C-alpha cells in the first residue's frame, strides 16, 4: 500500500512523494504488457494503491506522462490515448538514475570515490567481481 502522510483537519490522506509513481511502475512491471492510463487507474484502485479516496484519471495520466518524460516508460499510440510500458526492470531503472546523476555531477571522480568509499565490504567485492568480468569480456579473455 502506498505511504500516506498524516492529513490536516478536513483533508483526505495524501500519498508520500513518489509513492504513486512507484505503485504505477509496480503495476506495469507485474502486468508485463503495455497498459492505458485507464487500465493503470483500475489496477491502482483494485489493489488499494490509489489511496483511500477516488483516484482521478487525470492524476494517473500526469504520473504516466512524468514517468515517460523521465525516460522510465515508453508509450505507443492506441487511438486517441497511449499505452505505457516500462523501459527496464527495477534494477535497470535504478542503474539509469545512477548514470544520469553521475553524468550531471560536476566532479565525477569525487562522486565515484564517495560512492565506493560508502560501499559495504560485500558490495565492494561484488563491484570488483563485476568489473573484472566486464574487463575479461572486453579483452576477449573470458571463457564461454
How buried is 46 (Cβ within 10 angstroms: 0-12 exposed, 13-18 middle, 19+ buried)? exposed
pLDDT of residue 36: 97
Please give the model's pTM, rounded to 2 decimal places. Answer: 0.68
What percent of the chain has a predicted confidence (pLDDT) above 70?
Answer: 82
Amino acid at each position: 500500500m502506498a505511504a500516506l502522510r498524516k492529513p490536516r483537519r478536513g483533508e483526505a490522506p495524501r500519498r508520500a512523494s513518489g509513492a504513486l509513481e512507484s505503485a504505477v511502475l509496480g503495476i506495469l512491471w507485474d502486468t508485463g504488457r503495455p497498459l492505458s492510463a485507464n487500465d493503470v487507474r483500475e489496477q491502482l484502485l483494485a489493489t488499494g494503491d490509489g489511496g483511500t479516496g477516488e483516484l482521478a484519471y487525470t492524476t494517473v495520466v500526469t504520473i504516466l506522462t512524468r514517468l515517460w518524460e523521465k525516460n522510465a516508460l515508453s508509450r505507443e499510440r492506441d487511438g486517441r490515448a497511449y499505452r505505457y510500458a516500462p523501459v527496464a526492470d527495477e534494477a535497470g531503472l535504478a542503474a539509469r538514475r545512477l548514470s544520469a546523476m553521475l553524468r550531471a555531477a560536476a566532479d565525477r571522480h569525487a562522486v565515484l570515490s564517495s560512492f565506493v568509499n560508502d560501499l559495504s565490504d560485500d558490495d565492494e567485492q561484488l563491484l570488483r567481481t563485476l568489473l573484472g568480468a566486464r574487463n575479461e569480456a572486453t579483452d576477449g579473455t573470458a571463457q564461454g
